[in-house]
Amino acid sequence: SYELTQPPSVSVSPGQTARITCSADALPKQYASWYQQKPGQAPVVVIYKDSQRPSGIPERFSGSSSGTTVTLTISGVQAEDEADYYCQSPDNNGTNYVFGTGTKVTV
Amino acid sequence: QGQLQESGPGLVKSSETLSLTCTVSNNPISTYYWSWVRQPPGKGLEWIGFIQYSGSTKYNPSLKSRVTISVDPSKNHFFLKLTSVTPADTAVYYCARGRGGSHSGYYFYHLDVWGKGTAVSVSS
């Protein structure tokens, strides 16, 4: 089955840069999206199509991809960025739209 | 910007069917991928599936035998049915609006509007 692997946790000081990776279990990856989820709240998309930022999302959030790995970068991390982050990507057949294992970002 | 609201029973007995409704406001049910996602207590997100306005559906392979997603455009509602539930299906269930497609063999999909979620417990 298709799996997306993320580091369980990332710790960063305010003003520093946080990088969260998401690796595909096998074969060429499809476009990925990233979601931020704070406790007790629904997720919010922060990046889609690997590197596109929705309106209203701060510029400090950016996305990139290389081979079978996508990366979410948060530049100049703020306390309000402390949350769980999930990647999501379709499998190669466009039949299963898997979420990654999730990363807890601690500021 | 559309709004979504989940509704349905908060408690379901094992072996019965979980049925949820998502009401879509300020947004016609067309073009998008109307999706369901769930999150067991203390765990990560799990994609359940989606339905397109055309009626085409995609389901998580691990749930496919038990899941049906349908839509009623006249009422701007879409629905989730999960049969033969067990305590492992206890989760917060979210409905969401998806944007997706494919070109040159690459698929894209993301969920840009979410409901607040509804907690469903399955009793043994």
Q: A89-101 pLDDT, tens per residue?
A: 998 888 899 999 9
Of all residues in chain B, what percent are helix, strand and coil, respectively (each to 5)?
A: 5, 60, 35
Q: Distances in Å between the alpha carbon of A58 and those of A1, A9, A71, A76, B99?
A: 34, 22, 17, 11, 21
Q: Does A1 touch chain B (CB under 8 A)?
A: yes
How buried is B76 (Cβ within 10 angstroms: 0-12 exposed, 13-18 middle, 19+ buried)?
middle
Binary contact (B106, A86; C-beta < 8 A):
no
* A58-85 per-position pLDDT tens digit: 999 999 998 889 999 999 999 999 999 9
Residues in B closer than 8 angstroms to A86, CB to CB, are 44-45
- The least confident of A18-22, A55-59, B43-47, B70-74 is B70-74
Residues B24-35, mean pLDDT to the nearest whole number: 86
A1 contacts on B by Cβ (under 8 Å): 61-62
pLDDT digits 0-9 by tens, A12-65: 999 999 999 999 875 567 899 999 999 999 999 999 999 999 999 999 999 999
HSE, side-chain direction, 13 A CA sphere, residue B95: 26
pLDDT surpasses 70 at B75: yes
Distances (CA, A) of B48 to B89, B120, B121: 11, 15, 17
Give CA–CA dist B13/B15, Å, rounded. Answer: 6
- Separation of alpha carbons B41 and B119, rounded Å: 9
- State phi, psi for A30 to the nearest 5 degrees: -100, -175
Both tokens of residue A58? 């701060």
